Chains A and B, each alone.
Chain A
Amino acid sequence: MKKIEAIIKPFKLEEVKEALADLGIEGMTVSEVKGFGRQKGHTEIYRGSEYTVDFLPKIKIEVVVADSTLDGALSAIVKSAKTGKIGDGKVFVSPVDEAIRIRTDETGDKAI
Chain B
Amino acid sequence: MKKTTLIKSGIAALAMAASGLFIPTPVFAQEAAAVVAESATVVVETPATPQEEPSPVEKYWDGKTGDLAMFTVNNLWICIAAALVFLMHLGFSCVETGLTQSKNTTNILFKNVFIVCMGLLAYAAYGFNSMYPGDNWTLSGFFAMGSPIAAGFTEADAQVANLTSEYNAGYTYWGDFIFQAMFAATAATIISGAVAERIKLGPFMIASTIIVAFAYPITGSWEWGGGWLSENFIDFAGSSLVHAFGGYAALAAVIVLGPRLGKYLPGGKIKPILGHSMPLATIGVFLLFVGWFGFNGGSVLSADAPLVSLVFVTTALAGAAGGVAAAFTSWALLKKPDLSMSLNGMLAGLVGITAGADSIAPWPAVLVGAISGVLVVFSVLFFDKIKIDDPVGAISVHGICGNWGTIAVGIFGGGTFMTQLIGTVSISVFAFVFSLITFLVVKAIFGLRVSAEEEEGGLDIGEHGQEAYPDFVPNK
Contact = CB atoms under 8 A, between A and B. Distances in A.
Interface in B431-476: 453, 456, 461, 465-467, 470, 472, 476
Contacts of A32: 472, 476
A11 B456 contact: yes
Interface string A75-108: 0000000000100000000000000000000000
A42 interface: yes
A60 to B, nearest CB: 13
B465 A34 contact: no
A10 B19 CA distance: 65
Pairs A-B, 8 closest by C-beta atoms = A44-B465, A11-B456, A45-B465, A46-B466, A44-B466, A32-B476, A34-B472, A42-B461
A46 B460 CA distance: 12
Contacts of A44: 461, 465-467
B439 to A, nearest CB: 26
Contacts of B470: 53
A79 B467 CA distance: 30
12 contacts: A10-B456, A11-B456, A32-B472, A32-B476, A34-B472, A42-B461, A44-B465, A44-B466, A44-B467, A45-B465, A53-B470, A85-B453
Contacts of A34: 472
A42 B472 CA distance: 17
Interface of B: 262, 453, 456, 461, 465-467, 470, 472, 476
A32 B476 CA distance: 9
Nearest to A11: B456
B472 A45 contact: no
A42 B476 CA distance: 20
Contacts of B476: 10, 32
Interface of A: 9-11, 32, 34, 42-46, 53, 85
Contacts of B467: 44
Contacts of A45: 465-466
Given A42-B461, A43-B465, A44-B467, 5 more contacts: A10-B456, A32-B476, A34-B472, A44-B461, A45-B465
A10 B457 CA distance: 9
A44 B458 CA distance: 14
* Residue of A42, A43, A44 contacting most chain B CB atoms (<10 Å): A44
B14 to A, nearest CB: 42
A46 B466 CA distance: 7
B58 to A, nearest CB: 48
Nearest to B455: A11
A36 to B, nearest CB: 14
B61 to A, nearest CB: 49
A10 B461 CA distance: 15
A41 to B, nearest CB: 11
Contacts of A10: 456, 476
A9 B456 CA distance: 10
Contacts of B262: 11
A9 B476 CA distance: 14
Contacts of A42: 461
Contacts of A9: 456
A61 to B, nearest CB: 15
Nearest to A45: B465
Nearest to B472: A34
A94 B466 CA distance: 37
Nearest to B452: A11
A30 to B, nearest CB: 11
B162 to A, nearest CB: 42
A43 B262 CA distance: 28
Nearest to A42: B461
A10 to B, nearest CB: 8
Nearest to B471: A34
Nearest to B103: A57
A11 B476 CA distance: 12
Contacts of B461: 42, 44
Nearest to A56: B457
A34 B471 CA distance: 10
Q: Which of A11, A42, A45 has the most CB of B within 10 A?
A: A11
B396 to A, nearest CB: 27
Nearest to A87: B457
A53 B461 CA distance: 11
Nearest to A85: B453
B452 to A, nearest CB: 10
A6 B46 CA distance: 83
